[in-house]
Structure 1
Amino acid sequence: MKHSNGEAIDFRSEADLKEQVFKILNFYYPACIDHEKGGYINGFLDDGSINDTTTKHLVATNRYIYIFSIGAILGGPDWCLESARHGIHFLNEHHLDHENNGYFFELNGNEVENDSKMAYGHAFTLLASAIAYEAGIEEAKDVVDNVYDVLETHFWDQEHALYKDEWDAEWTSLSSYRGQNPNMHLCEAMLTAYEATDDQKYLDRAYTLADSVTQKLAGRSGGMVWENYTPDWQPDYEFNKNNTKAEFRPYGFVPGHQLEWSKLLMWLDRHRSEDWMLETSEDLFRKGWELGHDSEHGGILFALSPQKEVIDDDKNYWVMAEAISAASLLAAKTDNSFYWNIYDQLCQYSSEHLMDHEHGGWYKLLNRVNEPYSDVKTSPPKTDYHPVAAYYQSILAFS
């Protein structure tokens, strides 16, 4: 594991982890700041050249706000805070539906391309505004309050203690689809909002979501979290069948999401510790690792069938980042060499195959033998939020 200057990276060192955060930020900044239309540029090739100047994805806008806010929290240059504030302004001016409230999912320049109101997008709006507020952007608190109210009014399913998925722009037509993915990111967002505001309602909701998904939903699919559900929250094994590439609704048991829930349970445990959290976190981690780890070529495979057979053996950047984060939190909690060894192994793998030590940033998708599919480093909504978040959580865990 080497720095671009040839020196070894110590992934257990706070200084080296911070340096990796800023290597990512320096890949995107200043080229990602769109001074013409506002917001951010969403598409980059490996060398940093721009390949998409018009797409403005709600999730990408929020993930940029997130990574620049983390840069500010970690003591980065003034442009970190300025860049995050730039995104909050664009969120309020262009993603926000000034007539019906809620946030549009995708823009083309400043024009609405996809006016759907998605729980997934609103999860990242809460995450981004909360971390921006923690970083010192006072006006982000209004976004936190507004998006929480939107989620409570339109998405919250009181009967099942989970969030519904998708509305039309006017809040008149609700999709029958239900998914774990937005609920997972809403748990993350609620934890972030709690840490930023100290408001107990966010911690309570994070707890409820963790229980609903990792206990109730996982209990309906053999102890692992399935992705897609019917309106009454039964596993839907036919929806998007074999389409593991659906960005927000992939088919299968996704090992990366077992590991991501493992991380969230240990994050929740920092604030409200109960025995079931560590037990479930370790269980999901071991299942995600044992079923997903590629012992021949390294890394973690993407998706499994209902029978737990591999149906997608690609290596996705975010899976490795979330696995690193989960391993770091479990290692810090338990000091078990099993987790330390996996943390080191995944950092080594990511350094060798996913991290671009020349230009910065992480490659998006590799095949099983660790070859990239294209020279597109970032397409909407990537922004490398996952590795930045993983480094930040590891810094907190190790300190």
Structure 2
Amino acid sequence: MFVAEIKNHLIEKLIPFWENLRDTENGGYYGFMDHNVRTDPLAVKGCILNSRILWMFSNAYLLLGEEHLLEHARHAWEFMREHYVDRENGGVFWSVTADGMPEDTTKHTYNQAFAIYALSSYYEASREKEALELAEELFGIVENRCRDEYGYLEAFNIRFEPRKNDKLSENGILAEKTMNTLLHVFEAYTEFYRITGKKEAAKQLRFILGLIADKVYDPAKGRQEVFFDRTWNSLIDLYSYGHDIEAAWLIDRGLEVLGDREWSERLYPITAEITGNIYERAYRDHSLVNEAENGVIDTTRVWWVQAEAIVGFVNGYEKAPEHVEYLEAAEDIWNYIKDYIIDPREHSEWFWAVDENHVPLPKPIVEPWKCPYHNGRMCMEVIRRMSNAS
């Protein structure tokens, strides 16, 4: 029932919603829909959003095999190739105007990573050689221009000169390095390595695993730290429940793809502890609370946090089937999503968030960060992992 409902939701709700945002005049997909389900055809188009749409349609095609899904992926790829890629300075822009002119020319490591992630999937789906070549080019840019001896830096101007990291910093601080960017570079490199088998990608996966184990993960607190200075000193007491449960399964996925027993033996206990701690500390009222700053819990239920919690708990159950409570939690959170997070209005998708009384917050349905990646991926991960078990 659980898997069947999620598969039906993917096919009947999520995919049609994003298909309907296709911009047939200027290319790509519309970049904004407000809380009242009004699309703005003149809104900027964020590269992260476009990459995540490209990733979603590519993987939906790989899962379901329907040609129209690959055609939608191709539409996103063509817009990326023509408008986001900086042919002079390298890398991809942060955003472009509705008709494809550079709007925010910031070069951010997080953004480069998501392009690599999407392009790797699109190449797997389409065998489009140019997409793989661009992924390889961006991999080289991240390694040669977006890092120092301690790890990955974050924000740069159009020429890859460092600038303040205001796009990935929150909670009143400016971080030189973040757990979030590191995690998504790892995620991108996992798929890039799986598709290409390049030894340099495997080397960098091991480097990132070392950073996670030695710098990002705090064994005394049983959690990841979030914001750091250049040499990985934590800047704030912040516990991001959604990022921790997402990291648990993404790290496990990377270890599986890497196939390195030594690193698996080192990291699996960490991901198991992260999963158990999130279950004990953040899972309440059939859902996951958002985060805790200085011990004060933000009880907002954010859309992507719920989606990642389902995958994280399903992954935890797969790794340790004796923890039946993880599978039960995943099914429980899906019921919460159905009741409160999925927008029942026609031509809509998921609410951004609801408060602790289940009232939707008046935030956009689509914008540069609100995308089909977390909830679409949740659906596809559950289908892939649980279909044989159901």
Q: TM-score, normalised by structure 2?
A: 0.87
1:344 maps to: 331
1:235 maps to: 234
1:165 maps to: 154
Match of 1:156 among 132, 147, 170: 147
Residue pairs, 1:244-255, within 5 angstroms: 252-255=238-241
User: In 2, distance between residues paired with 1:385 and 1:290?
Assistant: 26
- Secondary structure of the corresponding residue to residue 113 of structure 1: strand
Residue pairs, 1:322-341, within 5 angstroms: 322-335=308-321, 336-341=323-328
2:275 maps to: 285
User: In 1, distance between residues paired with 2:250 and 2:189?
Assistant: 11
Q: 1:375 to 1:166 in 2, by over 3 A?
A: closer
2:7 maps to: 18
User: In 1, distance between residues paired with 2:327 and 2:273?
Assistant: 16
Match of 1:316 among 299, 302, 306: 302
User: In 2, distance between residues paired with 1:373 and 1:345?
Assistant: 22
Q: Which amino acid aligns with 1:329?
A: N
Given the alignment of the two structures, is residue 55 of structure 1 paired with residue 44 of structure 2, yes or no? yes
2:49–2:371 contact (8 Å) kept in structure 1: yes
Deviations 1:208-239 (A, max 9, x none): 323312442223883421221112221112xx
2:170 maps to: none
User: In 1, distance between residues paired with 2:309 and 2:119?
Assistant: 25
Q: Report how many residues are paired.
A: 368
User: In 1, distance between residues paired with 2:127 and 2:310?
Assistant: 29
Alpha-carbon distance, 1:87 to partner = 1.4
1:123–1:186 contact (8 Å) kept in structure 2: yes
User: In 1, distance between residues paired with 2:361 and 2:271?
Assistant: 32
Residue pairs, 1:156-305, within 5 angstroms: 156-157=147-148, 159-160=149-150, 162-175=151-164, 177-219=176-218, 222-237=221-236, 252-271=238-257, 272=259, 273=261, 274-294=264-284, 297-305=285-293
User: In 1, distance between residues paired with 2:7 and 2:120?
Assistant: 21
1:382 maps to: 370
User: In 2, distance between residues paired with 1:350 and 1:174?
Assistant: 38
User: In 1, distance between residues paired with 2:383 and 2:199?
Assistant: 24
Match of 1:42 among 31, 41, 50: 31
User: In 1, distance between residues paired with 2:81 and 2:46?
Assistant: 14
Uncovered stretches (5+) of structure 2, i.e. residues with no partner: 165-174
Give the % identical residues.
21
- Secondary structure of the corresponding residue to residue 287 of structure 2: coil
Alpha-carbon distance, 1:334 to partner = 1.5
Given the alignment of the two structures, is residue 67 of structure 1 paired with residue 56 of structure 2, yes or no? yes
Q: 1:338 to 1:276 in 2, by over 3 A?
A: farther
1:373 maps to: 361
Alpha-carbon distance, 1:358 to partner = 5.6
Q: 1:98 to 1:147 in 2, by over 3 A?
A: same
2:187–2:254 contact (8 Å) kept in structure 1: no
User: In 2, distance between residues paired with 1:235 and 1:180?
Assistant: 10
- Secondary structure of the corresponding residue to residue 26 of structure 2: coil
- Secondary structure of the corresponding residue to residue 253 of structure 1: strand
User: In 1, distance between residues paired with 2:219 and 2:161?
Assistant: 30
Match of 2:112 among 89, 110, 122: 122
User: In 2, distance between residues paired with 1:137 and 1:32?
Assistant: 25
Alpha-carbon distance, 1:143 to partner = 1.8
2:352–2:363 contact (8 Å) kept in structure 1: no
Alpha-carbon distance, 1:120 to partner = 1.1
Q: 1:49 to 1:80 in 2, by over 3 A?
A: farther
Alpha-carbon distance, 1:198 to partner = 3.1
2:168 maps to: none
Q: 1:71 to 1:228 in 2, by over 3 A?
A: same
Q: Which amino acid aligns with 1:67?
A: M
